[in-house]
Structure 1
Amino acid sequence: MSGILYVALGGALGASARHVLGVGTLKAFGPGYPHGTMAANVIGGFLMGILAGWLALKVSGHTNLRLFLGVGLLGGFTTFSAFSLDAVLMYEKKAYGALLGYVGGSVILSIGALMMGLILARKVFGSSAGVM
């Protein structure tokens, strides 16, 4: 299977998971704040940390796994383009406090979640100096 097919299959699954998350958070919290987008970015960051650690420490010749899981599945699941749109909409509505919390929280929590995932992967799979 060519690399593009791994990315496409993973992307379809990731986008579907993102849709399910978005519908679930909309039902749970209502439409007043982009909870689904923020949750996808934080969860995606955490999972990317685990994936990067696992691939670096335990899997050799991991190109197809990286394409399917990292580029496809997590690329389709995380939503930075939707994040950007949500931020601009908050700006246009002059919701500056919500905008600051959303942008700062998304970036800081996503990076923190990736770091926690990487630390967890290193503890479970072994230690390494580099990420990939």
Structure 2
Amino acid sequence: MIELILLALSAALGAVIRAYIISLKLFDRFSLPYGTFTVNVLGAFMMGLSIPLVAQGSLIYFMVIFGFLGGLTTYSAFTLDQLRLFETKAFKALVRYTFTMMFFCLVALALGLLIGVSF
């Protein structure tokens, strides 16, 4: 039972940090939702960094990977952003946003893995 509580607390912490980052005023000046982009790329990097450093199957692994990073990153907000771009017929922005997100998340994950493995 304590494991589930710790998982929930770590997910809540990730969600609070995500909400804070997304609400930063510096993202208001852009036409694309770069707040969501930022948390997803940051989360992908942290995921790559964490996987080699945290023993898989341990409580810390579940707290970091499924809890904190699960709360921090947001696929649902990403798809909602895509829907908004689609509804406003901003098709070029939709394609650019989608592929940019996918590319940079993969690069961030790979970079995190490379750094994590070198420790």
Q: Aligned to 1:94, what secondary structure does the other structure show?
A: coil
Aligned residues: 118
What is the aligned partner in structure 2 of residue 13 from structure 1? 13
> What is the letter of the counterpart of residue 8 of structure 1?
A
1:2-29 CA distances to partner (integer Å, 9 max, x unpaired)? Answer: 33212201111000000110111xx113
Q: Kindly indicate whether the alpha-carbon contact (under 8 Å) linking 1:46 and 1:117 is maintained by their aligned counterparts in 2.
A: yes
Counterpart-to-counterpart distance in 2, 1:71 and 1:64: 10
1:35 aligns with 2:34: yes
Percent identity among equivalent residues?
Answer: 34
Q: Aligned to 2:23, what secondary structure does the other structure show?
A: helix
Q: Which runs of 5+ in 1 are unaligned?
A: 125-132
Greater shift in the superposed pair: 28-37 or 75-84: 28-37
Q: 1:62: how far off?
A: 4.7
Counterpart-to-counterpart distance in 2, 1:6 and 1:69: 10
- The partner residue of 2:97 within 86, 95, 102 is 102
1:83 aligns with 2:78: yes
> What is the letter of the counterpart of residue 95 of structure 1?
A
Q: Kindly indicate whether the alpha-carbon contact (under 8 Å) linking 1:45 and 1:110 is maintained by their aligned counterparts in 2.
A: yes
1:68 aligns with 2:63: yes
1:111 aligns with 2:106: yes
Q: Kindly indicate whether the alpha-carbon contact (under 8 Å) linking 2:11 and 2:72 is maintained by their aligned counterparts in 1.
A: yes
When the two structures are superposed, what TM-score results if normalisation uses the length of structure 2?
Answer: 0.92
Counterpart-to-counterpart distance in 2, 1:18 and 1:10: 12
> What is the letter of the counterpart of residue 34 of structure 1?
P
Q: Which runs of 5+ in 2 are unaligned?
A: none
Counterpart-to-counterpart distance in 1, 2:83 and 2:50: 31
> What is the letter of the counterpart of residue 11 of structure 2?
G
What is the aligned partner in structure 1 of residue 51 from structure 2? 52
Alpha-carbon RMSD: 1.4
Q: Kindly indicate whether the alpha-carbon contact (under 8 Å) linking 1:6 and 1:67 is maintained by their aligned counterparts in 2.
A: no
Counterpart-to-counterpart distance in 1, 2:23 and 2:107: 25
Counterpart-to-counterpart distance in 2, 1:34 and 1:3: 34
